[in-house]
Amino acid sequence: MLTTRAEAVVDLAAVRHNVGVLRAAAGGAEVLAAVKADGYGHGAVPVARAALEGGATWLGVVLVEEGVALRTAGIDAPVLVMMEPPPGAGEVAAAYDINLGVGSFASLHDAVDAGARVHLKVDTGLSRGGSVEWPDLVAAAVKADADVVGVWSHLACADDVGAASNATQVQRFEAALTVAAEAGLAPRLRHLANSAATLTMPEARYDLVRPGIAVYGLTPVPGMDYGLRPAMTLRARVAMTKRVPAGTGVSYGHRYTTGAETTLALVPLGYGDGIPRAAANTAEVWIGGRRRTISGTVCMDQFVVDVGDDEVVAGDEAVVFGAEPTAQDWADALGTISYEIVTRIAPRVPRRYVG
């Protein structure tokens, strides 16, 4: 029974299951589980441990500090920082045995000077991180005798199965690997695939795949079911109910007005907890045995649901997302992606781990 106002229940058995699905899809490639952004809001350390138990061999973060937090928690698996690191990161990475993804000369030399291991990143078309001066970066790494563990890139449209840019990026990555080989680099790991590519692009799997959202049981390709199990259920206890007449304006701005005498249920979660304010009159929650749309403006700490004449009382459970509705349902309602829905759940919502 839920004994707090709200909680996010994280099923670590689901994480282990999902990593197993991804391992099977990877066709022999190693699996790096992305646990950046506090494990997509699920909790980086518990998720990291579960992912490793499920067969992952690497962990991915975007901040050096996130890698340090894993080390401080006693996790000794290989860790890769997947965003261009800031000046001085090399010294910290070397001290904590963390790999750095680098796509610039400055980051490369900072890592080499500190004795940190690197994965050289080439920009194959995402136009975000990664080098567009690839032959020169490779030459600089060779000249500096850098400890190059991997060569990698990132896909822009892998969730759009069959997009022409996917094939183009694979071709560009192959060309980058040829440049590296001809310069004398022989990295142990070549990696390109994210969640979607792991599940749909065998040609992109190489030696290591880097799933993120799929680790948490959310599909990277909306509408497709790969046997993944959602790991997070966000739920709350109804704080109070009240009977109101027809024509009652509800919440700030009276953006919802009751059409008949009805019961309003107050759910103690709001945008201070990560519930998007845009969910007003749009997103659904499970309450009183069925799905119902949020009624009126989402406030900082609470929102209201019109439950009609159904018997809903204080203390009843309201499921925001989980098995039903899903985080993808919320994403569809709000015109975003499931990644944002789960990652934005605030730290003040307690996480409870099961499985």
Active site residues per annotation: 36, 252
Between the alpha carbon of residue 224 and those of residues 5, 44, 64, 132, the distances in Å are 34, 26, 34, 34
- Which among 124, 121, 100 has a CA at the least distance from the CA of 112? 100
Pairing of strands 99-102, 118-121: parallel
What secondary structure letter does DSSP report for 253? G
3-state secondary structure of 331: helix
Pairing of strands 232-237, 290-293: unpaired
3-state secondary structure of 205: coil
Strand intervals (E) in 142-214? 148-152, 189-191, 208-209
Between the alpha carbon of residue 163 and those of residues 125, 329, 348, the distances in Å are 13, 24, 40
H/E stretch holding 168: helix 164-182
In angstroms, the CA 189 to CA 187 distance is 5
In angstroms, the CA 87 to CA 106 distance is 8
Only one residue has tokens 């610039």, namely 104
Half-sphere exposure of 266 (CA within 13 A, CB side): 15
Token representation of residue 197: 């590519």
- Which among 45, 41, 84, 87 has a CA at the least distance from the CA of 63? 84
Between the alpha carbon of residue 64 and those of residues 248, 270, 347, the distances in Å are 52, 31, 20
Q: What is the DSSP string of 80-93?
A: EE-SPPPTTHHHHH
Structural contact between residues 214 and 199, judged by C-beta atoms closer than 8 angstroms: yes
Only one residue has tokens 């109101």, namely 244
